Structure 1
Amino acid sequence: MVKETLEEIVADLKAGRTPTLSPDDFSCFSAEALEGNEHVSPAYLEVIAASLSVADVPTFERALRALAEGDLAWLGFKIVYDPAEAIRNTDNEVTKKYGDTGSADGQPLVFFCNDTKEIVSSREPSPRDTFQMKDITRGPSMHNEQFEGLTWLSVPLFDQVHVWLLGASDAASEVAALAHHVGFAVTVVDYDTAYVSEARFPNAERIVLPGGNFDALDQLECKPEDYVCVLTRGHMFDPEGCVWATRHHAHYVGLMGCKGKNDRVRELVLASGATEEDWERVKRPIGLKFGAKTPAELAIAIVAELVDVRYRQRYSESARAKHEQSLGR
């Protein structure tokens, strides 16, 4: 989400103008994101824009503050395709605890919600709408198709976590696909164009190093908030990958391999100037432990760990405690 876009919307609403909303700014309304959705098209943004007024200014101003503070927050959109049904439709047999009142009204709505379940909107939502509005913190509205007459979309007010895959191995190809699917931005690095191909990594940024080795890896910059998975083919350049990731203080560094191989990698990492503390920051072996063996199974273990690290990194201690309690853990 771009700060200037929200500022322009606020300025338009304060001046009594109808803002222009574009799928380029609100990606949940893109044709790609809505593919197969029979109830919403990118053109619905025009309906949303026409529904906005000066009463919606606090919603967008709260979103601006979330951007400035790095808050884990979303802008949500209530999409109404059958107003009468949306109002009439009450909770099903499982979720009756939310009452016997359907949607508060048959009108679209833009709202703000963050990981602490703070909601800001121009109108008071019904208890059932509140239940669905809070669900955007689980992704693009987990229960968005639960009730007839309306659906829900959301766009995050924070950046994707960047995952570096050092090595274009078969496991890395599987990791790239899964990591992209669960919302990571993925970059794969290798020196062989035959492996760093669009066919193997269709949804990742691909970087080909010159020279037939990983010497040029030092020319790339990794941010402290990035994650690094060292998955080089044949483990030939694992030491270079670990040194690079720890030198850039990556938030997470994981290394694949057995203990014997990793003992040798440790020797080479320390010989390259890294410290024992640097080495201890490397998660090894990478991934959660549940008997994974094949590249696809290993990818599930690795991406599951990445999701867990991201969860712990993003959510506040109080939000995590509440979630853990709900899981009975």
Structure 2
Amino acid sequence: MRLKLVPDQTSIDFFRHYRLTFGTSIVAMVLSVVAFAIMGLNFGIDFRGGTSIRTEATQPVDIGAYRDAMTPLNFGDVAITEVFDPAFGADRNVAMIRIQAQEGTESVTPAQLDTVLSALQQVDPTLSFAAVESVGPKVSGELVQSAIIAVTLALAAVLFYIWLRFEWQFSVGAVAALVHDVVLTIGLFAVLQIRFDLAIIAAILTIVGYSLNDTVVVFDRVRENLIKYKKRPLKEVLNISINETLSRTVMTSVTTLLALISLFVLGGDVIRGFVFAMIWGVIVGTYSSIFVGAAMMLRLGVKRDWSKNAADKAGAQFGVKEG
């Protein structure tokens, strides 16, 4: 028996209270900006600077034991990951330890490094430091700037792509949905003070791609139905299109969430922030495709006729023809 999360035929009126849902989204975005301005983000080592230590040992790496040994030292944000690289050799168990920049200094001092080494050698006497590197404020500032540029260029590329493939109203709706997702994600991280590092930037860019994919599927069906139902009101055409793609949207979102929730529970602390951002992104991205992107199209109106005769007419004919 085939699993069905959504019936084949649905007739949900997604825009019955679209002014309320659209207004709620705007309010949520404003609150996210306020939270970011007041509380700021809990930047990780990638953005605040700090020290990266590569350890080697003859015994297998025990991340939990390493973290327990480091906790009493009160160094703040400490990230520990095991490194698997054939170049290191099978007998060289390698881990990367990243410690945030300490107050008053750009990196961990030699005395503090000795303290870290002593603490870790209580866990594994064979452990040694193979390399120590520091990331200063200048490099961290460049990473912040690069992250902002990356997200901005991604949104600009989406705007251009949708504009070429559809119409400008579709493009505005898609970008509005993506900006909504990015702003709410940043606002959530500001409120919860979850560590914000380069992995979260990767998650945000992934969210942009996921949300865009869902939005394009809906918009493609909208364009088909605008040609098919030329005399139906735009609101009705949008509802038909979203209902026709609802089963696909729900199935994709649910299966993606199942994988992400498994990673969140079993994946460990290293990827938990990334996975949390992805879980939130899937939820808010699915919501924004309908209640932000499509709602924006409803407010702007769209061209209803893509025939050659209509294209030959002088001037582009926008707005909604009902009859």
- TM-score category of the 2 structures, normalised to the smaller one: under 0.3
Bigger relative contact order, structure 1 or 2, given CA contacts below 8 A and separation 6+? 2
Larger helix fraction of residues: 2
Q: Over alpha carbons, which structure has the higher Rg?
A: 2
The two structures have a TM-score, normalised by structure 2, of 0.23
The TM-score, its normalising length taken from structure 1, stands at: 0.22
Higher strand share: 1
